[in-house]
Amino acid sequence: MNPSHAYLTTMLTKNLLRYKIQSGKIYPQFASPTDEKLLSVADQLITVFEKSSDKTRSTLLAASKEVIDSSALPLIIKRGFEKLLLDRTEFDTSPNEALITFRQNLFTQTSRLLSQEQFKDYSAYQQRVLEIVDSKSSTDASAADDKTLGEKLYADLPSCQPILSFKTVSPEHLLHRYNTAQVQGLLLHCNALTLNLTDSMTAELRQLFKYLRFHQLLCTIQRVQGSEDTRQQDHDEKKDRAANQNVFQITVDGPLNLFYKTKRYGMNLANFFVAVLHQPKWELIAEIQMRNKRPLRLYLNETCGIKPISQQFLAYIPEDIAHFQAMLANKTDAWQISPGSQFLPLPGDAYCFPDYQLVHISGVKVAIELFHPWHQGHLLSRLQTLAERTDTPLILGVSKELEKKPIIADAMESSSYFSQFGFTFRDVPTMGTLLPILNSLV
């Protein structure tokens, strides 16, 4: 299962976010997962959605409104629950070609009718239109009155969309999902995000970095020691970190720091928080900046009380990686490729988590790191880190869209490392550009 698919569009809109601002910090307002009143309303709403199969969107919203109006809880919370449940509902949005054709034909006929005949009043015109409809025995859109005709003419409006399915959820899970969405909504307005993780090569940690790579969230990774200064930044938030504890410090650019496809990137970054919740011990520090407002600091750690809302995605392989694996297998049997699953040390104290790892039948190992259009700063940094190096088993792939930027084109042209271990690609890497580099390594 795609780790992001179920939650990619499950977000709260800005008007449904609840937070407080104090002393330059922003505090998301969570819903207590043990609050009986909240659980009761969540349960009632879930029941409404569970019984909505084969009904229309408007019917569902009317039933949901009854539950919302009958509770004294803050409206913003109830609307948030409803929004998240709607995101779990599948509607039939396929175009009704027969209806589209009928509507187009009827509009053409009525336009001709108005130009050829005169009517004493609107009722006479309505009656004439109904006669035209009733005379078309080949259609299913005949009607006894104009109201029924109007309903059928616009039966493909969003409010009339039939409900195909609903992915149910427990009330407690919905509250945790709601709290997660409060954080995600803030991360959509993030300048930068820093994540501190304990130095543990667990499956959970490796999966976190896979999630970063799968969603093209390139980051800088450093292994650092917890410092007294870092620990005292948020003394009021009751941090309790060991003074000499080694941690991985991950810094990810926020969508507000980018000039390319920021909406898509922002959604990916917000969904990344879902993976963070699987870590046993973590700290998240982010700079949040709402439109035309001063930057605010968001701090959270594993004690925030939000439980993971998704399953781990241990066996998941994205479609582009599966396609790349198939292409390589068709071209050569000498190399085996797999998604990146191990850290690769770089000069200094830096690390990278590559997209792919390849192993030759001779035992030679090499990794591939891809740079997409919004990875300008990271590519420049990587080229600088690898300058004059020839012993790092890392191949760099650069998006042709990114290469269009003069600063990138100049850096690539002047990099001796890239000239030997680099290639460019459009959507996915191709064997024509990659195989010569691979063959030069054995």
pLDDT at residue number 312: 58
Cα–Cα distance, 183 to 18 (Å, whole number): 10
Q: What is the pLDDT of residue 296?
A: 95
C-alpha dihedral, 310 to 316 to 321 to 324, nearest 10°: -160
Domain-ending residue, one of 304, 336, 366: 304
Amino acid (one-letter) located at 22: Q
What is the layout of strands, in order, in the sheet containing 422-425? 335-339, 356-360, 365-371, 394-399, 422-425
Domain extent, residue 48, equals: 5-90+168-304
Q: Return the higher-pLDDT residue of 26 and 145.
A: 26
Residues 84 and 102 in one domain: no
Condensed to tens digits (0 to 9), the pLDDT of residues 326-364 reads 888 888 889 988 877 777 888 777 788 888 889 999 999
pLDDT value at residue 316:
55
Assess whether 289 and 345 both reside in one domain. no
Q: Given this model, what pLDDT does residue 258 score?
A: 60
Q: Is the pLDDT of residue 237 over 70?
A: no
Which amino acid makes up residue 32? S
The answer to the question of residue 111 being in a domain is yes
Q: Assess whether pLDDT exceeds 50 at residue 143.
A: no
Distance CA 26, CA 148 (A): 52
Residues 33, 109: one domain?
no
pLDDT over 70 (residue 315): no
The arithmetic mean of pLDDT across residues 51-64, rounded, is 94
Same domain, 131 and 196: no
Considering the domain architecture, whether residues 346 and 210 belong to the same structural domain is answered as no
Beta carbons within 8 Å of 78's beta carbon, 6+ residues apart: 41, 45, 67, 68, 71
**Does residue 311 lie within any of the structural domains?**
no
pLDDT tens for 355-385 read: 888 999 999 999 999 998 878 888 998 999 8
pLDDT confidence bin for 311, thresholds 50/70/90: low
**CA dihedral angle for residue 435, residue 347, residue 391, residue 339, rounded to 10 degrees:** -30
The residue length of the chain stands at: 442
pLDDT value at 233 more than 70:
no
Model confidence pTM above 0.75: no
Whether 161 is covered by a domain: the verdict is: no
**Residues 234 and 374 grouped into a single domain:** no
275 in any annotated domain = yes
> Does residue 402 surpass a pLDDT of 50?
yes
Share of the chain above pLDDT 90, in %: 42
Give a yes or no: residue 313 inside a domain: no
Q: Do 101 and 72 reside in the same domain of the chain?
A: no
The answer as to whether 160 is a domain residue is no
Q: Is the model's pLDDT at 240 over the cut of 70?
A: no
In the 3-class helix/strand/coil scheme, how is the chain assigned residue by residue? CCCCHHHCCCCCCHHHCCEEEECCEEEECCCCCCCHHHHHHHHHHHHHHHCCCCCEHHHHHHHHHHHHHCCCCCHHHHHHHHHHHHHCEEECCCCCHHHHHHHHHHHHHHHHHHHHCCCCCHHHHHHHHHHHHHHCCCCCCCCCCHHHHHHHHCCCCHHHCEEEEECCCCHHHHHHHHHHHHHHHHHCCEEEEEEEEECCCCHHHHHHHHHHHHCCCCEEEEEEECCHHHHHCCHHHCCCCCCCCEEEEEEEECHHHCCCCHHHHHHHHHHHHHHHCCCCCEEEEEEECCCCCCCEEEEEEHHHCCCCCCCCCCCCCCHHHHHHHHHHHHHCCCEEEEECCCCEECCCCEEECCCEEEEECCCCEEEEEEECCCCHHHHHHHHHHCCCCCCCCEEEEEEHHHHCCHHHHHHHHHCHHHHHHEEEECCCCCHHHHHHHHHCCC
- What's the whole-number average pLDDT of the chain? 83
> Is residue 310 in a domain?
no
Whichever domain contains 345, its CATH number is: 3.40.1350
Q: Do 245 and 111 lie in a common domain?
A: no
What pLDDT, on the 0 to 100 scale, is given for residue 229? 39
Which two tokens mark 343?
Answer: 């850290």
Banded model confidence at residue 291, pLDDT cuts 50, 70, 90: confident
Q: Report CA dihedral (328, 334, 337, 343) to the nearest 10 degrees.
A: -140
156-177 burial code (b ≥16 CB/10 A, e <16): beeebbbbeebeebebeebbbb
Is the model's pLDDT at 325 over the cut of 90? Answer: no
Who wins on pLDDT, 432 or 82?
Answer: 82
Q: Which residues pair with 299 in a beta bridge?
A: 285
Distance of CA 259 to the CA centre of its chain: 18
The answer on 221 and 110 residing in a single domain is no
Q: Residue 300 has what pLDDT?
A: 96
In this prediction, residue 431 carries a pLDDT of: 86
Strand pairing class (190-198; 25-28): unpaired
pLDDT tier, 261 (very low <50, low <70, confident <90, very high otherwise): low
Q: What percent of the chain has pLDDT over 70?
A: 85
Residue where one domain finishes, among candidates 111, 126, 155 = 155
219, 251 contact by CB (below 8 A)? yes
User: Of the ranges 49-53, 165-169, 286-290, 385-389, which one carries the lowest mean pLDDT score?
Assistant: 385-389
- Asked whether residue 312 is domain-assigned, the answer is no
34 and 106 within one domain: no
68 and 214 within one domain: yes
- pLDDT tens, 160-217? 889 999 999 999 999 999 999 999 999 999 888 999 987 555 667 777 877 787 777 8
Nearest CA-CA partner of 324 in 218, 402, 213, 413:
213
Residue 367 dihedral angles phi and psi, to the nearest 5°: -120, 160
Residues 6+ apart with CB under 8 A from 123: none
pLDDT of residue 405: 92
Which of these three, 134, 155, 176, is where a domain ends? Answer: 155
7 against 291, higher pLDDT: 291
Contact yes or no for 358/438 (Cβ under 8 A): yes
Overall number of domains in the chain: 3
- Angle value at C-alpha 272, between 314 and 324, nearest 5 degrees: 55
Query: According to the model, what pLDDT value does residue 209 have?
Result: 79
Comparing 318 with 322, which gets the higher pLDDT? Answer: 322
Instruction: Report yes or no: 220 and 253 within 8 Å, Cβ to Cβ.
Output: no
315 vs 382: which has the higher pLDDT: 382
End-to-end distance of the chain based on CA atoms, in angstroms? Answer: 36
Q: Tell me the pLDDT tens digit for each residue of 78-132.
A: 999 999 999 999 998 887 788 888 888 888 888 888 888 888 888 888 888 888 7
**pLDDT given at position 412:** 95
| Same structural domain, 187 and 298 | yes
Per-residue pLDDT band for 226 (boundaries 50, 70, 90) equals: low
